Amino acid sequence: MDAAVSAAAGGATRTGLPSGNVAFLFTDIEGSTVRWDRDAPAMTQAVRRHDAIMRTAIAAHDGHVFKTIGDAFCAVFWTIADGVSAVLDAQRTLAQEDFGAVDGIRVRMALHVGTSDERDGDYFGPTLNRVARLLAIGHGQQVLLSTAAAELLALAMPDIALRDMGEHRLKDLTAAEHVFQLLADDLPTEFPKLKSLSVLNNNLPQQLTSLVGRDREITEIRALVDKHRLVTLSGSGGVGKTRCALQAGAEALDGFSDGVWFADLAPLTDASLIANVIAEAFELQEQPDQPMLAALVAHLKHKQTLLIIDNCEHLVHDASKTIDALLRGCPKVSVLATSREALAIHGETLYRMPSLATPGSSRGLTAERALSFGAVALFNGRAGSANPNYRLTDELVPVVCDICRRLDGIPLAIELAAARVKVLSVPSLAQRLDERFKILTGGSRTALPRQQTMRALIDWSYDLLTEREKELFRFISIFSGSFALDAATSVCADKDIDDIEMLDLLTSLVDKSLVQADDTGHDVRYRMLESTRQYAREKLVERGEADAIARRHAEAYVAISEELDRGWDTMPDRDWLARAEPEMENWRAAIAWALGSDGESTIGQRLAVGLCWLEFARVEGRRYVRTGLEKVTDQTPPHLVADLHIAASKLDSLLLSFKSSLGAAQRALDVLEASPDAGLLANAQLCAGRALVCLGRPSEGEPMLQSALTTFRAAGLEKAIANTLFSIGYACALKGDMPSAREVLREAAAIYDRTGAEERLPAVLTLLAEAEFRTGDTQTAVMLATRGLAASRTIKNPMNLMNLLPNLAAYLITLSKYDEARSHAREALVLARDEQAEMTVMFTLQHLAAIAALRDDESLEERSRAAQLIGFVNARLQALDAQREHTEQQEYEAVSAALGARLGAPRFEELVREGALWTPDRAIDEAQAIL
């Protein structure tokens, strides 16, 4: 026997929840809403008894209830025989109960067999959708079975009688299902006709594939159709407006006694024939003495009907007039329309179709979890159809998620991409998405031509635009990510387009679903879907407009950067970041152009200087600054050169590369000696002084800091004053002058608090903790670092965490609290690796080595690994021309002494040499073993 027959006969191995090819039972009470409205207390008692009966019957046959929704039950059984036995027990017991208080309870049931995905005790997948659709066509006390369930039941329980109900189209709109009714002598056998699409009035076209990832949207659309007579689904091409309209219409069939009727305007080019196309659904014939619209109104005047009118956008004005006439003349008619822009009719309710859900991040996401996102589930299903050998694994999840994100969760784009899995591996497909208009072709030959390729889909929308709209559409393709109206005006407006017309044109593109508007933040921001942007960018290049627009874009973002730079000292940090962060993608695009072969270096250098203030992008910012410095020539303004060196020094300091920071600051000072500028000089002195202090040379650094402080106080630059005081406080602590350190740091903290820079307060605690540790008060250092850690978690600042966690680990190691130290070091290593903070990685690896070296219960293998890690850290610090800070140097000396004593000096030195040859990835992997 094959596996399915074995399962039907009861031969499955029963451990845990049912899995494999299993039987699903869905049930619900017919007409329960009316009964609840009529007598809620009585219904409460009746449903409580109903639930007890259902649970008893299911449990008696080894079934598992995995979900209840109101009075509906969802259960799974190992075999169809178990499921049918439970159904018979339940229906017989229910029939014997006295539910007269609520005018009887009649439960409809449906059984289907198939596979599904089990997650956290729940089940998901097309099999579940199918049994739900099967249940929906039944009546109270009726039990329906799918073909799969009926065939297995005939093998397992040949004496059970079934009635062949014929083929029926279910409300999922896919292929018809051959339906069977379970018969039993002591249960009702005669019922009204099944409520399937095959019986109810409609002309809804059959769909070849199931609808994936749209449960929430269908529920929302259904609710709108129930409340409003005109609902328009709008959205970009390929987002699934038609498919969702059809599904919502199928779900709504029970509510429209005269049916749901579909009319597609896409092939139509003559607007005068709109009424004729709608009339075709009702087989109305044109009469010579009566306009078709009048005949249509007369036919529908007293009918309760839902019209689904698809693809209105290219005839939007005439379609609006026709729909308005129908709604005015036919009081029981409702319309569900699809259009890339609103119909603008009184009483219209607009529903903007969202893209399918995609994971924000695939880090740590399993295949099982990824499939809960609609975009991934759709790709997975269609790829599996294209290539039977395809399977979503945990290793493939990041690649598939990346594909779905880059395709903006657009269903048509995902389906076209998934079809390529027939001939391309998933990683190869991802690599080729930059050529998406070549890759995203080959859609269904029976689909409209504009739905067979992504290019044709967007061509359709582009060709409907006015010339001014086309121009703006091309120009805004220069933006990456989102953009504000002011930026669009700066880049795209000219002498012929003023601010008001710019807003009107942009609004029109939003209305036509070519641009998305996001008003969830402080200001409205606009963005294009990536496929749309690439299409528009191609048009921009074809017209020879790309270079000029790229220059205007870069110049606009230099202005934004420099405006933010000027506002840094006066704006609260959170407000400043809220203004800066959304512009990051556009800064990246602008600087890539400006520092590229066709750009203008000076613009790129100015952008690089501005970006150095973005502490959340410190590694990236350092790369831009270094590229800017490489492009310095004799023609570069000296003050810009100095600014670049200051930016490099600042970023190196943030990345704990203090020796490099000092060198960059000194180069800025050298430039300023020949070209003085008081403000730049103070910033260069701050950078140099801070680096000297952090390198353990406070007596050299403090005079420079005091000079910078004088300049900043004279200019009234409070945040700059606080930052300088911060470094002076550290210098005082290093010199052992703790009273002065505390006084200076209290002033810095007060300024941070007053200026809305409270996120920097943990940094003050970090510095104080380090100062206390250096003076030998480790307990106080731990207390201060712990407070700083708690504050950093509250404000969710990963940079503060990255500084505090390694320090706290070092302090705890000194106190022999190795388990706590290990926990902090583990977290620090993950953060530092993700942020590419190499110095923090090095120090954290050393802390982990120290734990293995110093605790008494570590094995010889772990101590040997610790020695190798020390060797790796030594080699990397030498390669980076960097050195350990005081805390790390003190720890290093203790670890080296301990390992030398426990391993023997020759063996320790040999292991150090071995570790020096490791790669960073190897070192981190070895450290994981200590974790």
The topology under which CATH files domain 818-930 is 1.25.40
Q: Domain 469-707 carries which CATH code?
A: 1.25.40
Dist. CA 752–CA 860, nearest whole Å: 49
The confidence score (pLDDT) of residue 8 equals 44
Residue 283: pLDDT over 60: yes
The pLDDT value recorded for residue 440 is: 67
Give the mean pLDDT of 419-431. Answer: 86
Q: Which CATH number fits domain 3-183: 1.20.1250.20, 1.10.1040.10, 3.30.9.100, 3.30.70.1230?
A: 3.30.70.1230
Count of other CB atoms within 10 angstroms of residue 834: 11
pLDDT score at 453: 66
Mean pLDDT of 851-869: 88
pLDDT tens-digit series, residues 649-682: 999 988 878 899 999 999 999 999 989 999 999 9
Model confidence at 761: pLDDT above 80: yes
In the β-sheet with 305-310, what is the strand arrangement from edge to edge? Answer: 260-264, 305-310, 333-338, 230-234, 348-352
Among 223-232, 291-300, 538-547, 794-803, which is the least confidently predicted range? 794-803
- How confident is the model at residue 442, as a pLDDT? 56
pLDDT over 70 (residue 712): yes
User: Above 70 in pLDDT, residue 1?
Assistant: no
The architecture CATH gives domain 215-352: 3-Layer(aba) Sandwich (3.40)
Percent of residues, the chain, with pLDDT higher than 90: 50
Listed ranges 105-109, 237-241, 754-758, 894-898; the one with the highest mean pLDDT: 105-109
pLDDT, residue 364, reads 82
Element (DSSP H or E) covering residue 399: helix 397-406
**390-412 average pLDDT score:** 90
Q: What per-residue confidence (pLDDT) applies to 602? A: 93
Judged against a pLDDT cut of 70, whether residue 5 lies above it is answered with: no
Give whichever of 164-173, 534-543, 769-778 has the largest mean pLDDT: 534-543
Model confidence at 444: pLDDT above 60 = no
In the predicted structure, residue 280 carries a pLDDT above the cut 80: yes
The predicted structure's pLDDT at residue 262: 94
What does the pLDDT read at residue 732? Answer: 92
Q: Is the pLDDT of residue 450 over 60?
A: no
More confident residue, 869 or 800: 869
- pLDDT single digits (tens) 178-234: 999 999 988 999 999 898 887 788 888 887 778 888 989 999 999 999 999 999 999
- The residues, any chain, with a CB within 8 Å of residue 850's CB and separated by 6 or more, are 810, 813, 866, 891, 894, 895
Helices 798-814 and 778-795 meet at what angle, rounded to 10?
160
Model confidence band, residue 764 (pLDDT cutoffs 50, 70, 90): confident
Question: CA-CA distance, 886 to 878, in Å (whole number)?
Answer: 17
Taking 60 as the threshold, does the pLDDT of residue 151 lie above it?
yes
The domain ranges of the chain are 3-183, 215-352, 367-455, 469-707, 716-796, 818-930
Taking phi first (over 0 means left), then psi (-120 to 50 degrees means alpha), and beta for anything else, what does residue 213 get?
left
3-183 and 469-707 share one fold? no
Local confidence band at 363 (pLDDT 50, 70, 90 cut-offs): confident
Per-residue pLDDT band for 11 (boundaries 50, 70, 90) equals very low
Percent of the chain with pLDDT over 70: 95
**How crowded is residue 901: how many other Cβ atoms within 10 Å of its Cβ?**
11
* Mean pLDDT, residues 139-167 taken together: 91
Q: How many helices (H) and strands (E) does the chain have?
A: 42, 17
Q: What are phi and psi of 818, to 5 degrees?
A: -75, -35
**Is 881 a residue whose pLDDT tops 70?**
yes
Dihedral-angle region of residue 259 (phi above 0 means left; psi in -120 to 50 means alpha; beta otherwise) = left
Q: Which residues touch 514 (CB under 8 Å, ≥6 apart)?
A: 236, 340, 461, 465, 473, 528, 532
Contact criterion met (CB below 8 Å) for 148 and 112: yes
Quote the mean pLDDT of the chain: 88
What mean pLDDT do residues 248-269 have? 90
Average pLDDT over residues 9-15: 53
pLDDT at 409 over 60: yes
Question: Is 497 a residue whose pLDDT tops 80?
Answer: no
842: tokens are 């090095």
Q: What is the pLDDT of residue 772?
A: 84
Is it the case that residue 768 has pLDDT exceeding 60?
yes
881 Rama sector, left if φ>0, alpha if ψ -120 to 50, beta otherwise:
left
Give the pLDDT band (50/70/90) at residue 6: very low
